[in-house]
A = this chain, B = another copy of it.
Amino acid sequence: MAQISPDVDLLPSEIDSFIIDVRESRPRGLARVLSMVENGHPSSSMILHSLYNPDRQVKTIGVTGPPGAGKSTLVNLLIDYWRKLNRKVGVIAVDPSSPFSGGALLGDRVRMQTHASDPGVFIRSMGSRGHLGGLSGATRDALEVLTSASYDPVLVETVGVGQAEVEVASIADITLLVLVPGLGDEVQTMKAGIMEIADVIVLNKADRPGIEQLETAVNASLEFVDDRTVRPRVIRCSAQTGEGIDNLTSAVDSLLSSEVVGQDNAKRRTTLILNGIIREKGSDLAKKIISEKYGSINGAIDSVLSGETTPYMIGEMFTGFLEGIQEKDNGSKQD
């Protein structure tokens, strides 16, 4: 394959060829498209535009939860389950962006390597470098690429514990929150936010002491979540004993094929992607506008340091910016 220059638009024929690579799930082409998406290649928008289908099936699953909750073990069990049904599974393993993410990172990734030689499993590790929208932007776009290939479902597993990781997991069509007994008082101080996005709450390591209290606390937290059409299912699991794994797979499968989820999904996903693009392209545009006036962002900073203006006054440039343009546009038409 030819080299791709990072800043140069691809030819339309090259874009078409990558789109075919994705649609036919050719691993090398797919990997290159994911790299372009991750690095914010200028042609990645055109590729994503061609691939985007708001009405595609519900097929992406985010898995989040604190370190030590056993997310990777569960993900591996889920992969095994779908592979036995001969479904091709995609996995995006999101690198920890949290400095405090703990534990079994290396072990998890090594464990996932048991699937690495299986051509029916496509595993991609994802960092936050390059993409304008950071980790969640890169993951969001990568999910759209992988769902355009023949992978179904596509899992996105985060290893961190912070808001960023929850955001990443909630980009998926459905979200599993994995909790375990004895990891502190996290449920008590748990914000409604995570309860609102979780479709399934997995109480893992259910053979451990404290599982009753955990379930009681989770159910109590769910009392406060009243603006959901579907209450999240709470499922006890133990990868050790095998308890509850069947319940988990059938709960996930029924969500994937749920009409209620499917109806909402096109709008939810489109809104999420558009909001991300608003943030990313908006920043880009604001930088250009400031650079236009001050020569560069550094020029603007120098103006502040020399006491001519403040960042807050620079921000005020944008108040009325569009009105200014419209006035110019309509200059001759004004009465």
Residues of A within 8 A of B (CB): 45-46, 48-49, 52, 54, 65-68, 96-103, 105, 160-166, 183-186, 189-191, 193-194, 266-267, 270-271, 273-274, 276-290, 292, 297, 300-301, 304-305, 307, 310-318, 321-322, 325, 328-329
Contact = CB atoms under 8 A, between A and B. Distances in A.
A68 B292 CA distance: 48
B277 A315 contact: yes
Given A52-B312, A103-B184, A274-B290, 6 more contacts: A49-B310, A97-B163, A102-B185, A160-B163, A164-B164, A285-B318
Contacts of A316: 45-46, 49
A52 B328 CA distance: 33
Give the oligomeric copy count.
Answer: 2
Contacts of A304: 54, 270, 274
A289 B325 CA distance: 11
A218 B78 CA distance: 36
B270 A102 contact: no
A189 B310 CA distance: 39
Contacts of A300: 274
A310 B54 CA distance: 8
Interface residues of chain A: helix, strand, loop or mixed (majority): helix
Contact of A285 (B101, B273, B282, B292): B282
Given A162-B162, A277-B312, A312-B49, A270 B301 contact: yes
A94 to B, nearest CB: 12
B190 A100 contact: yes
Contact of A102 (B45, B189, B277, B281): B189
Given A282-B282, A301-B274, A289 B49 contact: no
B283 A99 contact: no
